[in-house]
Structure 1
Amino acid sequence: MGSKQIAQETFDDAVQENITEFEMDPEEAVREAVQQFESQGVDLSNIVKAVRQPASENGQRQKHQILLTLDSLGRAVADSDLAAVAEQLEVFGEQCREQLAFRYLAGQNGAYSVVFSACQLASGDRDTTLRAFSTLSALLDGQPDLLDEAGQDLVLQSLRQGREDAELMLAGLRCLRQACLKHEQNRQDFVKGGVLPLLTGAILQHGHHAEVVRAASAALRVLTFDDDIRVPFGHAHDHAKMIVLENDGLRVLIEAAKAFTDSPGVLSELCATLSRLSVRNEFCQEIVDLGGLNLMVSLLADCIDHPVRNPSGLQDVVRQVLSAIRAVAGNDDVKDAIISAGATDLIVLAISHHLGNPQICEQGCAALCMLALRKPENCHIIMEGGGALAALQAMKAHPREVAVQKQACMLIRNLVSRSRDFSQPILEMGAENLITEARAAHKDCDDVAKAALRDLGCKVELRELWTGQKGGLAQ
């Protein structure tokens, strides 16, 4: 993708020039403009690639459709015409959801202040309020910088009012999530504003409302992200600790999961959030003590026993359960509990049953890798259960997936580093060729592949980066 940026007006002028100067039809003019700018390395992801309506009779330049809708919404808000506001919010929200370029153009033309005013105007009218928050969520998608302090207060207010109204709570949760993705300052501001007890409270209050539980869990998870490249150090770890220690987050999530054993979407989200909260040894142990490990193992077994039920949703549950097991296995004592629960065989079965899914292969290998780390006795169980063979099959099935190759190499290395007796059986499975191919194909695999080959007893050329000798330096 190109790194250069242009203004919407620049693109529109190029399209218009193609139409008037080169007599192209509108579609051809747009295609030619796109090709022209992309060949120059321009990033067009935020550009509306459509023909702007021709100038009016008085020569006034016309606008793209989404800006015309925004004008109509602005007039309705200025006139305090609630019926017209509701109608225009619906249209504008749908246009924002179509693509990032539409909502970006709207955002650059004052859409946030208009939608915020619509939210304020709608206060007291439930249906219009829901529509306004839905539109705000759509507008914030991919551009959380638009939200200001007044908007944060508005979202927090909707979450407080939503204690008794599941739909209003859901609307606020969706706005919160969009505002916090890739925006560290918004995350910190919301936490300081008291959002954490509102989120765990939403799960408790609306414990049987699948969409609310799922959205609240997703919001908690986003608050533990460290995805804002503009900030050198985030508060992800601190937020995770606050969720667990001050808001009983682990218990809330695990108890919620017990009510949705037949809802893959909710279970996936809850397991993903538990993974993000497994940041300390005692948290991993608490998940086990609260029955979280038994729940994960049961989910994994159920997914394997019923492979035809909602295949895509099932695979997502399997992936997130494996990710959660991998996370809690960071605690050495929990490793033993996982092995005792019979999870090893289930992880191997999950990889084998979903060999075509690279994410499941990656997380399965990563979970086994964690279980084998510093635990020779676990390595024996993994080997006997076919873990090494499953990892090599995953490497063979996904030669271009660097994450699969890397996790499989790390697993092989952990299996043999303290149990050299396993080297020969693993080599007989064809490990050397597969690991060598991974090393050649993926630069990111070089170190882990060399370590695996070395511990397997294979000949590895080690490059001497520095001899420690001085000389040749100008005095």
Structure 2
Amino acid sequence: MGPPKNAARTISQEAFDEVVKENMEDLGMDPTEALEDAIQTLTLQGVDLSGIVTCVPGEGSVKDNPVLQCLDRLSQLNSSPNSQIGDEIVDLLDKLTELCKAEGSGNAAIASRNGGVEIVCSICSKIEIGCLRAVFLALRALASLLHDLQSREAFRASGGPKILVGILTDGFENIDIVSSGFSVVAAAATSNEVIKELFMELKIDELILQVLSVKREVSIESLYDAIRVLLTPDDNRVLASQVYGYARNFAKIGIAGALVESVRGGLSSSSLVSASIALKAVAVNDEICTSIAENGGIDAVLLCIDDSSEQGNKTVAKVCCSLLCKLAGSDANKNAIVEKKGMDRLMKLSSRFFDDPSVLQEIMAVISVLSLRSPDNAAIAIEAGAGELALQAMQKFPAAQQMQRNSCLMIRNLVSRNAANRQVFLTILLNSGMEKHIRMAKQNHVSCNEAATDALRDLGLDDYNILCS
């Protein structure tokens, strides 16, 4: 694992304060001007000032910062002989969380730069699980502190993963502890391959399955977020992530099946979107996608798509189409989706949300995958109205780059192995301006160039490299 690319330069609080002091003493600047110049100059030099306390000399000092005051008192209480988790520590943890969660304050960076993660990890290691409110607030504080590489590395170095898994195991019966605990898992594992690996070594997958299996009646959104993060290859310091193997293990022990049950809860579940995203993260190969279908996953997703159409829920529509697209990667699942009237249901959804290209592009992606290497499915898509959808959407949303690209990809898959579909496009849709819209997409959007070229070529047009005149 190498260092992050283009890592920003850093500066200590003492060095920053010295720059401000020099501006005043050597350059004769007034305090406000000296502070503003120091910030501007260092920023232009590429110095990362996150976590630096900036205050006008004479109007306040670093020690007056409420975050630092809170941390100083927590440190004193935590390090005192025979220290116990009393009301004062509980109140300070609550205050620290609120300070760090204040949007745009930079307080989380200040806290983590000044030992906040280490202090809270130490407190977490000492709290008795019976002190439910203290445990809950300590986990909330920890989640609010883990915001960047440095804070996550401090969590790792402090034994955070082991401490956290211990708390989750001991506090399994308490929903608040489970929810706040998995929020910490998600925050800590984001963009950190080493912490993901540590959690897996500590059998976090088995703990996740236990929660999903035992607490089915409760929606714990942070649990699904943790699954998504653990299975996302988002650490740019590593060349090859291990998350593919983690996903296979998740599926092997039964997490995929448990997530299907979560999705089966439908729109009545507040965590449907998070559960669907988590299930998509687990579905990394054909075998897993097939097993999800065998557990009723396709039926559950199609029902959610139907309900999202009825209730006008765009977010659910997009997420469930994205999940269905992933599941359709399996050839067996393609046929199952089509047999369950999937094409007609998708076209109904497109009619419901025809005013939103972000929904249409997801629908097109599903149809494109269903039609890939399947002339029969492509024919069914044309009969359901996929050709007209492409034409009308490209006409209405010429600036919707991703939708235009997905439309071109869909057209290519609809005609590439189906001569009858190609004839439909050539005799009807091209006469309605389809060719012009494909060439416009090729001309106006760089990301559409290859997809549009392929669509024009597979339509049988010889001049497929020519832009719209």
State TM-score, norm by structure 2.
0.85
Structure 2 partner of 1:368: 367
Structure 1 residues 85 and 330, CA gap change in structure 2 (3 angstroms): same
Which one-letter code corresponds to 1:126 in the other structure? L
Which one-letter code corresponds to 1:91 in the other structure? K
1:142 to 141, 148, 164: 148
Which one-letter code corresponds to 1:67 in the other structure? L
Matched, 1:157 2:163: no
- 1-structure distance, mates of 2:358, 2:59: 53
1:249 to 241, 255, 260: 255
CA shift, 1:250, in A, is 2.1
**Superposition pairs of residues 204-219 of structure 1, within 5 angstroms:** 204-210=213-219, 212=220, 214-219=221-226
1:431 to 434, 438, 441: 434
Structure 1 residues 331 and 76, CA gap change in structure 2 (3 angstroms): same
CA shift, 1:103, in A, is 1.4
- 1-structure distance, mates of 2:93, 2:360: 44
Structure 2 partner of 1:127: 133
**Superposition pairs of residues 286-297 of structure 1, within 5 angstroms:** 286-297=291-302
- 2-structure distance, mates of 1:276, 1:87: 38
Structure 1 partner of 2:350: 351
- 1-structure distance, mates of 2:201, 2:381: 45
- 2-structure distance, mates of 1:35, 1:438: 42
Cα deviation per residue 1:95-128 (whole Å; 9 max; x = unaligned)? 2222473212321221111111221233242111
- 2-structure distance, mates of 1:317, 1:157: 35
Structure 2 partner of 1:83: 87
Structure 1 residues 138 and 393, CA gap change in structure 2 (3 angstroms): farther
1:118 to 120, 123, 127: 123
**Superposition pairs of residues 377-388 of structure 1, within 5 angstroms:** 377-388=376-387
Greater alpha carbon shift after TM alignment, 368-377 vs 15-24:
15-24
Structure 2 partner of 1:452: 455
**Superposition pairs of residues 33-432 of structure 1, within 5 angstroms:** 40=44, 42=46, 46=50, 51-52=54-55, 54=57, 62=63, 64-79=65-80, 80=83, 82-99=86-103, 101-123=106-128, 124-143=130-149, 144-148=152-156, 150-210=159-219, 212=220, 214-245=221-252, 247-259=253-265, 261-263=267-269, 265-307=270-312, 314-419=313-418, 420-424=422-426, 425-432=428-435
Greater alpha carbon shift after TM alignment, 253-262 vs 222-231:
253-262
- 2-structure distance, mates of 1:427, 1:43: 56
Structure 1 residues 139 and 431, CA gap change in structure 2 (3 angstroms): same
Which one-letter code corresponds to 1:223 in the other structure? L
- 2-structure distance, mates of 1:113, 1:346: 52
Asked whether the equivalents of residues 406 and 449 of structure 1 are also in contact (C-alpha less than 8 Å), the reply is yes
Greater alpha carbon shift after TM alignment, 69-78 vs 352-361:
352-361
Cα deviation per residue 1:348-380 (whole Å; 9 max; x = unaligned)? 232332344443233211111101101111112
Asked whether the equivalents of residues 427 and 456 of structure 1 are also in contact (C-alpha less than 8 Å), the reply is no
Greater alpha carbon shift after TM alignment, 128-137 vs 142-151:
142-151
Which one-letter code corresponds to 1:390 in the other structure? L
Structure 1 partner of 2:445: 442
Structure 1 residues 8 and 344, CA gap change in structure 2 (3 angstroms): farther
RMSD of aligned Cα (Å): 3.0
Cα deviation per residue 1:293-328 (whole Å; 9 max; x = unaligned)? 111111111111222xxxxxx222111110111011
Gaps of 5+ in 2: 1-5
Where 1:279 maps in the other structure, the secondary structure is coil
CA shift, 1:8, in A, is 6.7
Q: Report how many aligned residue pairs link the two structures.
A: 446
Structure 1 residues 260 and 416, CA gap change in structure 2 (3 angstroms): closer
Structure 1 residues 370 and 53, CA gap change in structure 2 (3 angstroms): same
- 2-structure distance, mates of 1:227, 1:93: 26
Query: Which structure's relative contact order is higher, taking Cα pairs within 8 Å and 6+ residues apart?
Result: 2
Asked whether the equivalents of residues 209 and 258 of structure 2 are also in contact (C-alpha less than 8 Å), the reply is yes
| Sequence identity (%) | 24
CA shift, 1:277, in A, is 2.1
Which one-letter code corresponds to 1:294 in the other structure? D
Asked whether the equivalents of residues 142 and 178 of structure 1 are also in contact (C-alpha less than 8 Å), the reply is no
